Chain A
């Protein structure tokens, strides 16, 4: 059974801290790994990763994939209260199905 695991499930930090969110996966056929941010409503797309070792970056957020060890990390530097959200990791397993992890709830305190 395809599975995506995220850790930690919950994290509380203060503004300015750097955080690392983890995502590991076991899927039959891997095509890509995706990160989403979910605030109060719908998840919004952050990154898609397909190749090992190539960092994707957007502002203070960056992510990298290790296809040998089957994991990805999402880094957020200089966190702000606006980064408070649930961060979802998902894997596209070629079956037109995206398998999602349970998410990491990040709370950034002022």
Chain B
């Protein structure tokens, strides 16, 4: 099993504050993803990374930035959190290029008041 750890798992913050979510993997997989999940929308891609310092935007990237300085860590930053960013955030890794399987972390629930 691919090992993914997301932190924090739960966070409540106020509008305008910066927030960083961390995704840590133990398996040295190249591709990592950040998704947000909201009712009625399913999972929407925020950003993804295809290697150290190689990242690209997804469909809902506005208001988010990412960094990947090491293979094992993919950070998602909200520079100035807004209430519309209240969501559950999932990190995922592509574990098998042949099957297309994504392995997801347990999720981070963020509430912006």
> Which residues from chain A sit less than 8 Å from chain B, CB to CB?
4, 31-32, 34, 36, 41-45, 48, 88, 90, 92, 96-103
Name the B residues within 8 Å of A100 (CB-CB): 35, 42-44
Name the B residues within 8 Å of A41 (CB-CB): 106-107
The reply to whether B31 and A48 contact each other, CB–CB distance below 8 Å, is: no
Most buried by A among B40, B58, B101: B101
The reply to whether B42 and A102 contact each other, CB–CB distance below 8 Å, is: yes
Say yes or no: is B45 at the interface (Cβ < 8 Å to chain A).
Answer: yes
Interface SS of B by simple majority? strand
Name the A residues within 8 Å of B105 (CB-CB): 42
Name the B residues within 8 Å of A42 (CB-CB): 90, 104-107
Query: How many whole Å from B48's CB to the nearest CB in chain A?
Result: 6
Chain B residue with Cβ nearest A91: B100
The reply to whether B102 and A98 contact each other, CB–CB distance below 8 Å, is: yes
